[in-house]
Amino acid sequence: MTRETEIRDALRAWIVKTNGKIQPDQLDDETPIIERRIITSLQVMDLILFLEKLSNRSIEVDTLKVGVFKNINAIYNAFFASVIE
Amino acid sequence: MSKPEDALNLGSLDGFRWLDNGQSALSGNLLDLFRNLDRMFLSWSRECNASEYRFPTFISARDLARLDYFRSFPHLVTFPIVLKSEEENLKRFSEGSTLNAEGEVTLTDIRGVRDVLTPAACYHFYVQFQGEKLTSVKHVTTRANCFRREAYYLPLQRQWGFAMREIVCIGTADEVKEFLSRYQDRCERFFKRINLTVEFQNATDPFFNPSKNPKYILQKLDPVKTEMVYQTGLAIGSINFHRNYFGEAFQISRDGKEAFSGCVAFGLERWIYALLHHFGFDQSTWPRLDSPEEE
């Protein structure tokens, strides 16, 4: 299993667990997690903490760009892709 | 928001009276303009066969609390209050110094507050439709006098009490997004016809203590509000995607899933301001508001 797959799986598992209602097969890498409120505004702060832990670096909320939490692909590209490549 | 130099000399305008409590009175040509604008918005609402509703001035505090309103917007809220009805209390009030030098009422005992003066027209719809299981998309419209306490007021631009017309869509995510895009296009065609410089800009709701509010942070990262910003910087309307926030809070479903919703909102006094600022006070220069065939 590649590091990328591990990260995507970890993201999916965290989202499924945090949401509490959605099944893993209902969540692909393009599913809009904010628009569908799979992750709510209150959970976004927890998501940021989780991403800090997973990426092992701190995240400055003020520097985040529009769309970074749109779906798993967007999260992966924003916080992990450049580090792994 | 407009700079002070953009303030119009409304004192010289017939049919306008500004009140110290952040509200305005309209008559004559200005009242005609108000009515014609609302008639135009109503005709736009018919393009999606929206049903019209008329709601009362108050909305229950219990319902607003379900939207987390008091935590998000405590600085905007206005409450209607009444005295406790015990005779002794009423007597004490009526025989006391009912008004001080600043014009403030000297209150005696107040009954518990259970209502709020409507802060946004569309909230009434989610209360109205709570628990409904929709099998088709729903389009509705209403105009309400809305109340938002502000740090300062400016005639027509920032008022404690103002009129808001909203057209609302409740349905699936795709139905709501299509509705919002159609109405943005509708407004753009109108602005183009009358040559009014209005830009559509991402915006956020005016949250209390925004930097500490996750809802604000999320709105910055995933914009759901687009404002119609007139050239002076004044937002005269907005296009809002609520996701399924109201559907969840009020258990409204669409085909078995929590319904999504969105609205297009028009602040009537602000539209009047933009038209007066752009076209001047002479009614003969104002654009026609009833020519959809030209758009």
Q: Tokens standing for A28?
A: 């692909």
A44/B214 CB distance under 8 A: yes
Higher pLDDT, A1 or B267: B267
pLDDT at B294: 67
User: What residue numbers bound the domain in which A69 lies?
Assistant: 3-84
For residue B37, give the nearest of B232, B236, B202 by alpha carbon.
Answer: B236
Mutate to test the interface with B, among A35, A43, A46 (most CBs of B within 10 A): A35
Q: Is the pLDDT of residue B6 over 90?
A: no
Q: Is the pLDDT of residue B293 over 80?
A: no
Give the pLDDT mean for B177-201: 97
> Which chain A residues contact residue B223 at CB under 8 A?
66
Number of domains in chain A: 1
| Interface predicted TM-score (ipTM) | 0.77
For residue B114, give the nearest of B57, B64, B55 by alpha carbon.
Answer: B64
Cβ-contact B265, B166 below 8 angstroms:
yes
CB within 8 Å of B37: residues ≥ 6 apart:
B266, B268, B271, B272, B289
C-alpha B263/C-alpha B250 separation (Å) is 16
3-class secondary structure, B254: strand
| Distance to chain A for B61, nearest Cα, Å | 22
Q: Is the pLDDT of residue A84 over 80?
A: no
C-alpha B110/C-alpha B90 separation (Å) is 10
Q: What is the pLDDT of residues B191-233, one digit of tens each?
A: 999 999 999 999 989 899 887 888 888 888 888 999 999 999 9
pLDDT at B186: 97
- Mean pLDDT score of chain B, rounded to an integer? 94
B173/A64 CB distance under 8 A: no
A67/B243 CB distance under 8 A: no
The torsion region of residue A56 among left (phi > 0), alpha (psi -120 to 50) and beta comes to left
pLDDT at A11: 96
pLDDT at B97: 82
Q: What is the pLDDT of residues B48-60, one digit of tens each?
A: 999 999 999 999 9
Give the pLDDT mean for A13-18: 96
Closest alpha carbon within chain B to A64: B221
pLDDT at B4: 47
For residue A24, give the nearest of A34, A38, A36 by alpha carbon.
Answer: A38
Nearest to B222 among A34, A42, A45 (CB): A34
Mutate to test the interface with A, among B207, B212, B217, B246 (most CBs of A within 10 A): B217
Q: Is the pLDDT of residue A82 over 80?
A: no
Give the pLDDT mean for B172-189: 97
Domain CATH number, residue A41: 1.10.1200.10
Nearest to A35 among B202, B215, B243 (CB): B243
CB within 8 Å of B4: residues ≥ 6 apart:
none
pLDDT band at A61 (very low <50, low <70, confident <90, very high): confident
